[in-house]
């Protein structure tokens, strides 16, 4: 895991626009990484770069995020099916053989949905803090996390000003500086007046939260490939013990890893653990 080279950024043209992605192309087995809601592929660059000795890596910006340019009309994110559909099409272009799909949060669910509906594309899954909304929660009013997302500040004078505003605060508390910089560089665009704006508009992030599928762990019963499920038991985890158990009940050979004290931002807090479990799937179909 000595390769920490910079990824290349590329764009895939599709019928509705373009999918932006970063890649570490190698003559090796394929790995695709899908990011969380409100984030972008580059956020995970420091997590993924050391894996480039073992995998040919692609990490794409999901619809409404990063540098991807695809429409996001009202209602586009319902039950997150559009993200799975986009990912399916992208995988068919990126890779010629089944690949390891890894993802965080919303990206984990999109990856899970692809594996359930297109098993021929996927040889293994690593799900990191997937959003397993239990049915009782799904019947309640929209969680205030969506309302907070809708009110996020979207415009800053510069990337440096955004970094100063975020470092050590809120969701970014405990993030390494390099990861926060990558999040900002990969998730902002220049405005006409010389400022910068979040590429994932607050309305899009809020809609994604409101559109979370309920009981997504039920897809486990249709998964044929090996699965590693990594969850935290700390603040803000979106994969509770009961929901993880429900997943394992439907997919008994799942490798369930609970990281003590980890929050929903487990990949930022414990990247070595995540890498170790991704590498466990290198060169094997088990």
Once rounded to an integer, what is the mean pLDDT over residues 1-9? 70
Q: What confidence score (pLDDT) does residue 137 get?
A: 54
DSSP 78: G
Per cent of the chain over pLDDT 90 is 88
Residue 25, pLDDT above cutoff 90: yes
Q: pLDDT band at residue 284, thresholds of 50, 70 and 90?
A: low
In a domain, 3, yes or no: no
Which burial class, exposed, middle or buried, applies to 128 when counting CB atoms under 10 A from its CB (0-12, 13-18, 19+)? buried
Once rounded to an integer, what is the mean pLDDT over residues 192-196? 97
Q: Which two tokens stand for residue 261?
A: 């004290």
In a domain, 115, yes or no: yes
Per the structure, how many domains does the chain have? 1
Residue 212, pLDDT above cutoff 50: yes
Residue 16, pLDDT above cutoff 60: yes
For 31-55, the DSSP string reads EEEEPPTT--GGGGHHHHGGGGGT-
Q: Are 251 and 143 in contact (CB under 8 A)?
A: no
pLDDT, the chain, mean: 94
Q: What confidence score (pLDDT) does residue 94 get?
A: 97
Q: pLDDT band at residue 126, thresholds of 50, 70 and 90?
A: very high
For 125-136, the DSSP string reads EEEES---B-HH
Q: pLDDT band at residue 5, thresholds of 50, 70 and 90?
A: confident
For 180-232, the DSSP string reads HHHHHHHTEEE-TTS-EEESS-HHHHHHHHHTPPBTGGGGGGG--S-EEEEEE
Once rounded to an integer, what is the mean pLDDT over residues 217-238? 96
In a domain, 242, yes or no: yes
Q: What is the pLDDT of residues 244-268, one digit of tens each?
A: 999 999 999 999 999 999 999 999 9
Distance from C-alpha of 198 to C-alpha of 177, rounded to nearest angstrom: 18
Q: pLDDT band at residue 116, thresholds of 50, 70 and 90?
A: very high
- 29 against 174, higher pLDDT: 29
Q: What is the pTM of this model?
A: 0.95
Q: Crossing angle for the helix pair 177-186 and 159-166, nearest 10 degrees?
A: 130
Q: pLDDT band at residue 135, thresholds of 50, 70 and 90?
A: confident
Least confident interval from 22-26, 52-56, 111-115, 133-137: 133-137
In a domain, 148, yes or no: no
Mention every residue, 6+ apart, whose C-beta is less than 8 A from residue 285: 123, 124, 226
In a domain, 182, yes or no: no
CA angle centred on 225, ends 29 and 41, rounded to 5°: 55
Distance from C-alpha of 262 to C-alpha of 206, rounded to nearest angstrom: 24
In a domain, 144, yes or no: no
Q: What confidence score (pLDDT) does residue 235 get?
A: 86
In a domain, 175, yes or no: no
Distance from C-alpha of 92 to C-alpha of 88, rounded to nearest angstrom: 6
CATH of the domain at 232: 3.40.50.1820
Q: pLDDT band at residue 4, thresholds of 50, 70 and 90?
A: low
Distance from C-alpha of 194 to C-alpha of 185, rounded to nearest angstrom: 15
3-state class (DSSP) for residue 98:
coil
Distance from C-alpha of 247 to C-alpha of 233, rounded to nearest angstrom: 16
Once rounded to an integer, what is the mean pLDDT over residues 19-33? 96
Q: pLDDT band at residue 275, thresholds of 50, 70 and 90?
A: very high
Once rounded to an integer, what is the mean pLDDT over residues 81-86? 98
Q: Are 258 and 232 in contact (CB under 8 A)?
A: yes
Once rounded to an integer, what is the mean pLDDT over residues 54-68? 98
Which residue range(s) make up the domain with 237?
8-138+211-279
Q: What confidence score (pLDDT) does residue 76 get?
A: 98
In a domain, 172, yes or no: no
Which strand ranges, in their side-by-side order, compose the sheet holding 188-190?
155-156, 196-198, 188-190
């Amino acid at each position: 895991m000595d390769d920490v080279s910079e990824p290349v950024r590329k764009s895939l043209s599709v019928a509705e626009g373009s999918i932006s992605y970063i890649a570490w192309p190698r003559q090796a087995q394929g790995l695709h990484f899908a990011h969380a809601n409100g984030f972008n592929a580059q956020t995970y660059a420091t997590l993924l770069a050391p894996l480039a000795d073992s995998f040919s890596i692609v990490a794409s910006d999901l619809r409404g995020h990063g540098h991807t340019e695809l429409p996001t009309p009202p209602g586009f994110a319902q039950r997150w099916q559009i993200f799975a559909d986009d990912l399916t099409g992208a995988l068919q272009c990126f890779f010629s053989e089944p690949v390891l799909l890894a993802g965080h949060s919303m990206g984990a669910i999109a990856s899970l949905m692809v594996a359930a509906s297109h098993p021929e594309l996927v040889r293994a899954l690593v799900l990191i803090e997937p959003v397993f909304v239990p049915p009782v929660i799904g019947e309640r009013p929209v969680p205030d996390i969506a309302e907070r997302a809708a009110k996020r500040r979207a415009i800053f004078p510069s990337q440096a000003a955004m970094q100063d505003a975020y470092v050590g605060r809120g969701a970014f508390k405990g993030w390494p500086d390099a990861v926060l910089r990558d999040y900002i560089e990969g998730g902002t665009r220049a405005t006409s007046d010389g400022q910068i704006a979040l590429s994932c508009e607050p309305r899009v992030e809020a809609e994604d939260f409101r559109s979370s599928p309920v009981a997504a762990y039920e897809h486990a019963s249709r998964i044929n490939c090996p699965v590693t499920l990594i969850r935290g038991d700390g603040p803000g985890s979106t994969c509770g013990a009961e929901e993880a158990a429900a997943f394992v009940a439907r997919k008994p050979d799942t490798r369930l890893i609970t990281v003590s004290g980890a929050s929903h931002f487990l990949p930022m807090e414990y990247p070595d653990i995540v890498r170790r479990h991704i590498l466990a799937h290198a060169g094997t179909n088990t």
